[in-house]
Chain A
Amino acid sequence: MTTQVEAKGPVGMAMMAGVAGLVISLGIVFSNLMSSGHASFNTGSNGVTWGLPVVNYVFFVLTSTGLTFVASLAMVFGFKEFYPIAKRCVWLAVVTLIAGFASLALEIGHPFRMLWAIPLSFQYLSPLNWMGVFYLAYLVLLLLKFQKVNANDWDSSGSRTLGIASFVAVVIAHGTLGGVFGAMIMRPMWYGPLVPIYFLLTAAVSGAAFAVLITYLTYGSAGNMPEKVRNLMAGSMSKVFAAVLAVVILAVVSRTVIGLWTNADGMQVWDHVVASPWYWIEIVLMVAAFLMLVNGSSPMLPALMVIVSLFIGRYEFIISGQLVPLFKGSWVPGLIQYTPSLTEWMTTLVAFSIALAGWAVGEKMLNLAAAPEGKNS
Chain B
Amino acid sequence: MAKWGMVIDLEKCTGCQACSTACQMENNRLPGENYQDVLYYTEGKQPTPTLKWFPRPCMHCEEPSCLHVCPTKATFKTADGVVLIDWNKCIGCKFCMIACPYGVRFYTDEKPLIEPNIKDVFKGSGDLSWNPPYKGPQQDNAHGVGIQPNGVVSKCTFCYHKISKAPAGTANLTNEDEATREFTPACVRTCAPTARYFGDLDNPNSEVSRMISSKKGTRLLEHTGNKPQVYYVTGSGAGGGAAVPMGRNGINKV
Q: Spell out A's residues near B (CB within 8 Å).
A: 37-39, 41-46, 49-50, 108-111, 113-114, 117-118, 121, 123, 125-129, 132, 180, 184-187, 263-265, 268, 322, 324-332
Contacts and interface: CB of A to CB of B under 8 A. Distances in A.
A332 B39 contact: yes
A114 B40 CA distance: 38
Contacts of B111: 39, 42, 44
Nearest to B251: A265
A183 to B, nearest CB: 8
A110 B251 contact: no
B132 interface: no
Contact of A50 (B74, B90, B98, B105): B98
Contacts of B54: 327, 329
Contact of B95 (A110, A128, A186, A329): A128
A118 B42 CA distance: 43
Most B CB within 10 A of own CB, among A110, A123, A129: A110
Interface of B: 32-33, 39-42, 51, 54, 56, 65, 68-74, 89-95, 97-103, 105-112, 150-153, 221, 223-225, 245, 247-249, 251, 253
Contact of B249 (A113, A126, A263): A263
Given A109-B94, A185-B225, A264-B249, 7 more contacts: A38-B92, A38-B151, A50-B98, A110-B91, A327-B54, A327-B102, A328-B248
B107 A125 contact: no
Contact of B93 (A44, A109, A326, A331): A109
A330 B65 CA distance: 27
A119 B108 CA distance: 24
Contacts of A326: 101-103
A37 B69 contact: no
A186 to B, nearest CB: 4
Given A123-B70, A132-B71, A186-B100, A109 B41 contact: no
Contacts of A43: 107, 110
Contact of A117 (B42, B72, B112, B221): B72
A129 B151 CA distance: 19
Given A38-B107, A109-B108, A186-B99, A268 B248 contact: yes
A113 B90 CA distance: 8
A49 to B, nearest CB: 5
Nearest to A326: B103
Contacts of A329: 39-41, 54
A256 B19 CA distance: 42
